[in-house]
Structure 1
Amino acid sequence: MEEFKLQNVNLEISENLSRHRTEGLGSSKALVVRRGAPFRVSLRLNGRPFDPKTDQLKIKIMLGRLYAIAPVTYNPDMSPSKWSAYMDLASLNPQQPSVHICAPTSAPVGRYRLVVAGFTKDGQRVSTLCKFTLLCNPWCKEDSVYIPFEDQREEYILNDSGLLFMGTAMNIVSRPWSFDQFESGVLEACLNILDVSPQHKQNRRIDHMNRNDPVYLSRVVSAMINSQDDQGVLKGNWTGDFKEGMNPAMWTGSGDILRQWVKSEYSAVKYGQCWVFAAVMCTVMRVLGVPCRVVTNFNSAHDTNNNLVIEEYYTKTGLKINGSKDSIWNFHVWVECWMSRPDLGSAMDGWQVLDPTPQERSGGVFCCGPAPVKAVRDRRIDLIYDVPFVCAEVNADVHTIILDQGKVLGVNKDTERVGALICTKVVGFPRIQTITGDYKHVKSPMSTISSRSSGSGSGSGSGSRHSDDSTLRRASTTSKGVLVFLTLDKAPVCGQPILFTVKVINKQNKPKRLKIHLNAQAKEYNHSPSDTFWESHGLIDMGPGEVKVVQQQILPVQYEDVVGDDLINLAVVLEDVASQEQALATEEFNIASPELTIKIADKNSVVVHREQSATVTFTNPFSHPVSGVLIIAGAGLIKERVTFRMPPLRAGGTVQQSIAFTPRMVGSKMLHANLMLPDVRCTVRGFKMVAVKSS
C-alpha cells in the first residue's frame, strides 16, 4: 500500500493576509495573522490521499521554548482560550486537505514555528515545518485590544500616515508623518525591538509568556524606543548640536529610523525629540496590533518635586530666567494605546498614556505608562503606572514670580495654563480633534491660551479659549493697584510684523506713574528662553480708574534671523513708581511658517502601480534670499524619500519641483514635503492626501 507523506504546507498567504488585514506587513512571502481568528493552510501530500477514518493530524505551535499541541478535529467550533485546529469534511480534498488553525485571544505576540505532524493507523509519523508571525487582533471582541468601531480600527491600526501637532495652542502646526507600517523591513524591526529588549535577554521564556498582555508589550516598547537603558531605537538630543546625526526636524517617517536601527546592529539612531519618539512608538504598536494614536499636550509640565506646582521666574524688566528644575514644554507629544486593564479593573479600560521620551524613570527604567486616561482625569494617583506624573503634565499650577536681587516682588498663580489643549488627529480626516476633556475637567473642551494677565503683588488672572476672540477674562478680582493684559492681535505669520496689544487698568481712584518694560526672547519648545532680541521701555501716566491700550509690533527684520523654528517668550512688566508694586503679563507663541503647496497632476486618476506626477511649490516670504534641502516622502507612494537641493531663492521669489511617484497600495495616502532652510533655521512643510484607486 502506498505510504502517506507530507510534502509541504501551503500557507495560503494571499487569502490569510486579506482575511486578517495584514496585507503589506512583512515580505510578500511571509504569513502574518492575528490571534482569535482562524487561518487556513493546505497540506500537499505525496503518496496516498488523506483518510480521515484512519489518519490523524496534530499541530505543534512553538514560540521559543513555549509550545502548544492541538489535535486536528472535525469540529469547527474553536476555543478562544487555547490553540485549536479543524478540518471541514464537507469540503475535504483528500490529496490536498485544508486545516484551519486558530490562536487563542491570549496568545503571545511574536515569530512562531508551526509543525504539522501526521499519524497513520500503522503508527507512521510524518511532519513538515513552516513559520508565521502572530499579532494582536483589535477586530476580535475577546482580544484585550478590541476597539469596537471599524473606522477607529482603520485609523489606529491600518492608517500608515498622520499628523503630529506642534507649536502652541493658539497657533498649531500640523506636521505630516509617515508611520510606514507596511514599508519594507518595518515589521521585522518591530519584532526585533521585543527580541533585543532586556526582558527578553534576561529570560526568554518569561518574556514570551508575558507578550500576551498589551500592558506588558506597551511598557517594553515604551522603554525600547529610547536608548537610555538598553539598545533602544533612538537617542534623544535637545542641545541644538546634531552634527553626529540627524536633526530631529528632518525625519519624515518611522521607516527610515527603524531600518537604520536594524542595519546598525541595534545602535541608537541619532537623534530624536518627543514627536519622533512618539511617532515611532505609534508605528510599532500599530504593527503589533495594538490601536495607537499620537497625542499632543500643549503647555506640558515636568514636575520634578511632585508638588503639582511649576515655578517660573522673571526679572522686573521682563526677562525670563532659569530658576527652577521644573519646566513647562510648549508642547509635548506622547501616544495613547487602547486596551483593557484587568490589572486595574474594567473602569480603567480604554485609552492609556504611554510616553517613550526619556524624562523620568519608571520601575527603574526610562519609560512611562500605560497610565489610564480615565485615571488621569480622576486624579487616581494611587494607580500604576505613572499616573501622578501624567496628572502633573496636564494639571499642574503655574506660579510666575518676579524677582529683583533675590527678593520676590510679585507672584502670579495660573491654574489653566498647563494642559491648555490636548489633541490628536480626527479619525479619517487630516484635522485636529480636541480631547482635553478626556484628561481633565474643563469649562470648555476647546480651551487654549489666548492671553495672560496679572494684578499687582500676588493677585492674578488668566484667560483661555480656542478662537480668534481676544476678549479677556480675569480669574481673580482681589488685586490692588493696576492690571495688565497682553494679547496678540492675530496669530503671527512668518514675514509679517508681530502685532500685540498691552491693556493697562488703573483700579484705584488716584493717579499713577508706571514704568513699562517689554521683553522678547527666543526659546526652544522645551527650554528656558535665550537672550533678549527685542525690548522696549518707557513711562505711562494713568488717571484715576483710567484704562489705556498700547499697540506694539516686532518687525520681521527684528525676529526672522533669531527665531526660525523656535518660539518667542514675550513679557510685559509694570512697576508703580510710588509703591513699587509689580504687574506681569506673559505670552509664549510660535510664528507660523510658510507652507509648501503640493499639486497632483491628475488627482482623479491616481491608480495603483501606475506612475503619477506632482509639483511642489514654495514662495520665499523672508526679507532676504534663502536656500535649502527639499525632502519628499509618502508611505505607499514613494519607496524611499527623495531629496532635492534648492539654490538661493530671492525674497518674494517662487520655485517649483516636480516629483514622479508610483503608488503601491490602494487607499488614502499622504504625499508630504519638508523644506529645510538653514539660513533662517526654519522648516517649511506641506502635504496632500492622495486617493489611490485599484487598476
Structure 2
Amino acid sequence: MSRGIQNQRNQDSDKFDTWLIPFHLILFRSGYRWHYSAIDYFLGSVTLLNRIRNFNKMRRMYINGSTTGYRRTYCRHTRTPTNSISRTFSEVIYSRGHRYRQPNSEPGTSIASHGRRPVVPPTVQQPPVSQDLQVEDIDFNVYNNSKNHVTDEYHISETARDLVVRRGQTFDITIAFNKKYDPKKDDLKLVFLAGENPSPPKVRINTPPTCYVGIWQLQVETIQKADNKKVIFEYNHDQEIYILFNPWCKDDQVYQPDKQLLDEYILNETGKIYTGNRKQINGQKWNFGQFEENILDCAMCLLDRNKLAWTVRGDPVKVARKLSAITNSQDDKGVLVGNWSGSYHGGKSPLDWVGSVAILNEYFKTKQPVRFGQCWVFSGVLTTLCRALGIPARSVTNFASAHDCDGSISIDSFWSESGEPIEELNSDSVWNFHVWNDVWMARPDLPSGYGGWQAIDATPQEASDGVYCCGPASLEAIKRGEVNMPYDTPFIFAEVNADRVNWELNEVDETHNVGVERRSVGMRISTKLPKGRSGCIEHFCYDIQREDVTGMYKYEEGSNEERAAVLQANQNSSKKGLYDEGKKSDVEFELVDKETVPFGNDFEILLKIKNKSKEERTISGCISTSSIHYTGVPANKIKTVELNAENVPAKSEKVISVKVTFNEYLPQLVEQCHMKMSCMCRVLETKHTYVHQDTFRLLKPDILIKAPATGKIGQLIKANVSFTNPLPCTLTYCTLTVEGPGLQEPSVLKQSIVESKQTFMTTIEFLPRKVGVKELVVAFNSRELAMVEGSCEITVSA
C-alpha cells in the first residue's frame, strides 16, 4: 500500500470503541486494519528498537510464544542477508523490511521473505500466502506528532524524513496489514479490542519520562499459528524515531513550567552572547540554529561516537556533563579545537564565527574537530546541542572571571619589589570575561533545593576526573559556598567569588601580603532576557535585552552572607585558613578606572594619591599599560612610567597622569582590543605597598543593517550593511560573515579595503526559507579592526 493511500484512509479513522486487555496495548478491529493504543514502554509485538548507528548494532526484544516472558538477543542491523548470531534461531534474511522466521525449525533451515511473501527452500513447505498476517506499511504521522511534541521546527520533521518526539508523551502511528486478523491463527501479543466502525490501524505509544534519549527504530512482529507451530514475521520500518528530553512533561527531569522560558531556552534559534568587560558590555548576536539541517543528527552522532552508555542517556545530568566534554576536542576528538595563540593558520579565527550551524555542519561532514574556538564559541555550540536534545540552556557571561589553578579558591598575584609582576609565579588569572552555560534540570543526586539552573562549561580549562569537562554545578550550591557538591563546584565558585590576593616577593624570596581585593571578581554576570520580558539600559551596557543573573551565583558583594560563603568555601580549599589582609596606610591611592575609550583615540592613565598624615610622604613605584588577551594573559607592553621619589605634602593630594597615544598602542594590540593598566607604589616612610590593576576595552562601531521588516518565503530580500571606519588607518583583509536561521546559510564574503574614516557599504541578497520572526546576523572583520557586528529581525510569511 502506498503512503498516499494510507494517509487518505487515516482521515476516516476518528471514532472507535475499545476495551482493554493485559500487555498495555489496545487493539481495534477495522476490517483489514487494526488500531493500537496506550503501549507502555514498547512491550508486546510492537517493539521500539534502539539503534546504535555508529557501531552498526541494534538491540531488539524478541517476544516468545508465552504471554509472560521474552528472550533477548542481539543481532547485526542490516538490510542485506545475514546469519543470526544465536543458535536458537534459524538463518534470518531481510527483504523489503520483512523477516520471516520459523522458530521451531531445525538448525540450518532458513525461510526468507522477498517482497510481501515468504520464500523458502524447496525442502521446506511454504505456508499458504492467505494465512500470513504481515505489516504492509507504517505511517509515523509526522506532521501531527511533531506539532503535538513541539518538534515541527526540526528540519527532520519539516521533510518528514523521520519522526522526532519528546519522551513522556504519547504519539500516534498508523499500521497497515495485508489481511484481517484471525485470533485463532494470528498472535500479535496484544490486547484485543473490537470496534463497530472499521478504521485505519493506529498505535498510540507512550514513552516514559525516563526513556533513553537517542535514535530508535520500530519493529512489528506478527505471529502465525499452524500445525502446532509458530511462524513469526518481523517488519523493520525504514524511518527512525528520535526521542528527546521533554521540558513540557512534569515528570521529566528537565521540566520547566514557565512557557516564556521554554520559548527562549528551547525554541529560540538566535540569541546573544555577552563579551567585552565589566565597564563596556557588548551583546554579540549568535545563531544557535538548533533546528537546522544536520544539527540534531550531529548531536546524536556525538553521543554515539563518544560512547555515552545507553544506561545513562535518560539522565540529563550525565548527558550535560558529557556534552561539556565532547564540545571541545581535548580528549575525545570533539567538535572544537581551542586556540588562544592569536595565530589561526589551518583554521578559522574564533572572531569570525557568528553561529553554531557552520561549525556543527563541518564537524558532521568530516567527523574531525573544527578549528578554532574560544570560550564564547564553545558556549554557543553547547547551547545549540543542549537545545537540540531538549535540555533548556542559555549562554552566560561572567565578567572579571577568575581562573584558579591550584584549588585555593583565591587568585594570587606575585610582584617584585620594583613593581613588576612575576609572570612565572602568576599561574592564576582573571579573564576580562568568560562564557559558559546554564542548563535547567532537577538534581535527584543532590539534597532537596539544589535543582534548577546548573552551570556547565565546555571550554577546556582544567581536567575534571581526568577529562576536560566541567559541571553540572548547582547555582544554589555555588552561591552558598557549598563546594563539596558535584560537579566542579569549587572551580566555578572561584570564578565568580574568589578574593584576589597580592603578594610581594623580596630579595630573599620571602612573600608578604600587600593587599586583598574582595570585590574584583565575578561581576555583572549576564545572559539574554527571555522573549517578552523587558530589561533596562545601563551606563555600561546599552543592550536592553541583557539580564543580570549575578544574584543567582553570589550574595550581594560585601554582605554577611557573601563573606560566609567565601569562608565556607575556603575551609574546603587546597589552602585552608584565611590570608592576612595587611595593615591600613595613612596614604590612599586610586588608579582611576577607564570607562570607555573609542578605538582610534588617545587616552590618559590617572593615579590619585591622598596623604592623610601630618607629615610629608615620599612615593616610588611605576605605572604601566599593556595589551592583554581577554583571558587576562599579558600580550605586549605599551608604556611604563617610573615614579622616583614623588613628594606628597601632608594633608594634600596629588594626581599623576600618563598619556598614551593611538600610534603607541595600535602596534601592540591583540584581538578584541583588551588593555590593562597596572600600578604598584611604595610609601618609603611607612613601607606600605599599594597594588592595583584595571582592565578596559577599546570601543568599536556597530554595523547598521537596513532591510525590509517583512518578507515572504522564496521572495528575494535585499539588506544594506554599513559602518564607518573610526581608525586613522586603512582596514585590510576584510571579510563579512552572514547567517540567519531560515534566512541565509552561513557564508563568508570577501570585501575590499576600507580607507580611514570611510563608510563601508554593501548589499546582501537572500531568499527566506522559513515562516516566522527570523534574525539576520552580520559581522565584519579585518586585520586592524575585528568583531564589528550587527543584526536585524525580519518577519517571514508564506
Please confirm whether the aligned pair reaches a TM-score higher than 0.5, indicating the same fold: yes
Q: Deviation per CA, 1:273-323, whole angstroms, max 9, x where unpaired?
A: 111112111111111111111111112222222221211234556544412
Matched letter for residue 584 of structure 1: V
Q: Which protein shows a greater Rg?
A: 2
SS of aligned partner of 2:208: coil
Could you tell me the TM-score, scaled by structure 2's length? 0.73
Q: Which residue of the partner structure matches residue 583 of structure 1?
A: 690
Q: Is the 8 A contact 1:637 1:661 kept in 2?
A: no
Distance 2:523 2:173 in 1: 53
Q: Is the 8 A contact 1:297 1:333 kept in 2?
A: yes
User: Structure 2 vs 1, CA of residues 427 and 544 (structure 1 numbering), >3 Å: closer, same or farther?
Assistant: same
Distance 1:208 1:671 in 2: 38
Matched letter for residue 423 of structure 1: S
SS of aligned partner of 1:162: strand
The yes-or-no answer on 1:141 pairing with 2:250 is yes
Matched letter for residue 373 of structure 2: G
Distance 2:741 2:715 in 1: 12
Q: Which residue of the partner structure matches residue 681 of structure 2?
A: 574
Distance 1:665 1:97 in 2: 33
User: Structure 2 vs 1, CA of residues 444 and 433 (structure 1 numbering), >3 Å: closer, same or farther?
Assistant: farther
Distance 1:352 1:646 in 2: 42
> Which residue, 365, 370, 378 being the options, matches 1:269?
370
Q: Which residue of the partner structure matches residue 608 of structure 1?
A: 713
Q: Which residue of the partner structure matches residue 313 of structure 1?
A: 414
Q: Using the TM superposition, give the Cα deviation of residue 195 of structure 1 relative to its aligned residue in structure 2, in angstroms.
A: 0.4
Q: Which residue of the partner structure matches residue 348 of structure 1?
A: 450
Q: Which residue of the partner structure matches residue 245 of structure 1?
A: 347
Q: Is the 8 A contact 2:617 2:647 kept in 1?
A: yes
Q: Which residue of the partner structure matches residue 174 of structure 2?
A: 42
Q: Is the 8 A contact 1:480 1:508 kept in 2?
A: no
The yes-or-no answer on 1:288 pairing with 2:397 is no
Q: Is the 8 A contact 1:599 1:688 kept in 2?
A: no
Distance 1:284 1:394 in 2: 25
Q: Is the 8 A contact 1:522 1:567 kept in 2?
A: yes
Q: Which residue of the partner structure matches residue 546 of structure 1?
A: 652
Q: Which residue of the partner structure matches residue 21 of structure 1?
A: 150
Q: Using the TM superposition, give the Cα deviation of residue 493 of structure 1 relative to its aligned residue in structure 2, in angstroms.
A: 2.0
Q: Using the TM superposition, give the Cα deviation of residue 183 of structure 1 relative to its aligned residue in structure 2, in angstroms.
A: 1.5
The yes-or-no answer on 1:425 pairing with 2:532 is no
The yes-or-no answer on 1:97 pairing with 2:201 is yes
User: Structure 2 vs 1, CA of residues 669 and 634 (structure 1 numbering), >3 Å: closer, same or farther?
Assistant: farther
Q: Using the TM superposition, give the Cα deviation of residue 155 of structure 1 relative to its aligned residue in structure 2, in angstroms.
A: 0.8
Q: Which residue of the partner structure matches residue 702 of structure 2?
A: 595
> Which residue, 10, 14, 19 being the options, matches 2:139?
10
Q: Using the TM superposition, give the Cα deviation of residue 335 of structure 1 relative to its aligned residue in structure 2, in angstroms.
A: 0.8
> Which residue, 755, 758, 775 being the options, matches 1:650?
755
Q: Deviation per CA, 1:139-171, whole angstroms, max 9, x where unpaired?
A: 111111001111111111111111111121111
Q: Is the 8 A contact 2:478 2:492 kept in 1?
A: yes
The yes-or-no answer on 1:390 pairing with 2:492 is yes
Q: Is the 8 A contact 1:630 1:645 kept in 2?
A: yes
Distance 2:314 2:521 in 1: 36
Q: Is the 8 A contact 1:167 1:590 kept in 2?
A: yes
Q: Using the TM superposition, give the Cα deviation of residue 647 of structure 1 relative to its aligned residue in structure 2, in angstroms.
A: 1.8
Q: Deviation per CA, 1:249-271, whole angstroms, max 9, x where unpaired?
A: 1122112222222222x322222
Distance 1:486 1:73 in 2: 82
Distance 1:53 1:139 in 2: 43
Q: Which residue of the partner structure matches residue 454 of structure 1?
A: none
The yes-or-no answer on 1:416 pairing with 2:519 is yes
Q: Which residue of the partner structure matches residue 258 of structure 1?
A: 360
**Higher mean displacement: 353-362 or 281-290:** 353-362
Q: Is the 8 A contact 2:392 2:440 kept in 1?
A: yes
Distance 2:292 2:734 in 1: 24
Q: Which residue of the partner structure matches residue 360 of structure 1?
A: 462
> Which residue, 638, 652, 659 being the options, matches 1:533?
638
Q: Which residue of the partner structure matches residue 668 of structure 1?
A: 773
> Which residue, 592, 606, 612 being the options, matches 1:507?
612
Matched length? 625
SS of aligned partner of 2:732: strand
Q: Is the 8 A contact 1:373 1:439 kept in 2?
A: yes
Q: Which residue of the partner structure matches residue 549 of structure 2?
A: 435
User: Structure 2 vs 1, CA of residues 53 and 523 (structure 1 numbering), >3 Å: closer, same or farther?
Assistant: farther
Matched letter for residue 281 of structure 1: L
The yes-or-no answer on 1:558 pairing with 2:664 is yes
Q: Is the 8 A contact 2:717 2:766 kept in 1?
A: yes
Q: Using the TM superposition, give the Cα deviation of residue 630 of structure 1 relative to its aligned residue in structure 2, in angstroms.
A: 2.8
Distance 2:792 2:642 in 1: 48
Could you tell me the TM-score, scaled by structure 1's length? 0.84
The yes-or-no answer on 1:636 pairing with 2:737 is no
SS of aligned partner of 1:346: coil
Distance 1:72 1:694 in 2: 46
Distance 2:186 2:723 in 1: 70
Matched letter for residue 286 of structure 2: W
Matched letter for residue 295 of structure 1: V
Q: Is the 8 A contact 2:211 2:314 kept in 1?
A: yes
SS of aligned partner of 1:532: strand
Q: Using the TM superposition, give the Cα deviation of residue 376 of structure 1 relative to its aligned residue in structure 2, in angstroms.
A: 0.8
Distance 2:420 2:192 in 1: 77
Unaligned runs of 5+ in 2: 1-129, 533-543, 560-580
C-alpha RMSD over aligned residues: 2.8
SS of aligned partner of 1:590: strand
Q: Is the 8 A contact 2:585 2:688 kept in 1?
A: no
Matched letter for residue 542 of structure 1: V
Q: Which residue of the partner structure matches residue 45 of structure 2?
A: none
Unaligned runs of 5+ in 1: 59-70, 75-86, 201-206, 446-475
Q: Which residue of the partner structure matches residue 107 of structure 1?
A: 211
**Higher mean displacement: 482-491 or 363-372:** 482-491
Matched letter for residue 589 of structure 2: V
Q: Using the TM superposition, give the Cα deviation of residue 591 of structure 1 relative to its aligned residue in structure 2, in angstroms.
A: 1.3
Q: Deviation per CA, 1:86-117, whole angstroms, max 9, x where unpaired?
A: x9x59x653x2222111110100001011234
The yes-or-no answer on 1:215 pairing with 2:278 is no
> Which residue, 725, 730, 736 being the options, matches 1:620?
725
Distance 2:419 2:779 in 1: 35
Q: Using the TM superposition, give the Cα deviation of residue 52 of structure 1 relative to its aligned residue in structure 2, in angstroms.
A: 10
SS of aligned partner of 2:797: coil
Q: Is the 8 A contact 1:480 1:507 kept in 2?
A: no
**Higher mean displacement: 682-691 or 165-174:** 682-691
Q: Is the 8 A contact 1:490 1:499 kept in 2?
A: no
Q: How does 1:60-139 map to 2 (within 5 A)?
A: 71=190, 93-94=198-199, 96-118=200-222, 127-130=234-237, 131-139=240-248
Q: Is the 8 A contact 2:376 2:436 kept in 1?
A: yes
Q: Which residue of the partner structure matches residue 461 of structure 1?
A: none
User: Structure 2 vs 1, CA of residues 677 and 45 (structure 1 numbering), >3 Å: closer, same or farther?
Assistant: same
Distance 2:546 2:656 in 1: 34
Q: Which residue of the partner structure matches residue 304 of structure 2?
A: 195
Structure 1 segments of 4+ aligned residues over 6 angstroms from their partners:
50-56, 120-124
Matched letter for residue 797 of structure 2: S
Q: Using the TM superposition, give the Cα deviation of residue 634 of structure 1 relative to its aligned residue in structure 2, in angstroms.
A: 2.9
Matched letter for residue 175 of structure 1: Q
Distance 1:132 1:240 in 2: 43
Distance 1:227 1:376 in 2: 27
Q: Which residue of the partner structure matches residue 481 of structure 2?
A: 379
Q: How does 1:216-231 map to 2 (within 5 A)?
A: 216-231=318-333
The yes-or-no answer on 1:490 pairing with 2:595 is yes
SS of aligned partner of 1:615: strand
User: Structure 2 vs 1, CA of residues 477 and 273 (structure 1 numbering), >3 Å: closer, same or farther?
Assistant: closer
Q: Is the 8 A contact 2:151 2:164 kept in 1?
A: yes
Q: Using the TM superposition, give the Cα deviation of residue 478 of structure 1 relative to its aligned residue in structure 2, in angstroms.
A: 5.6
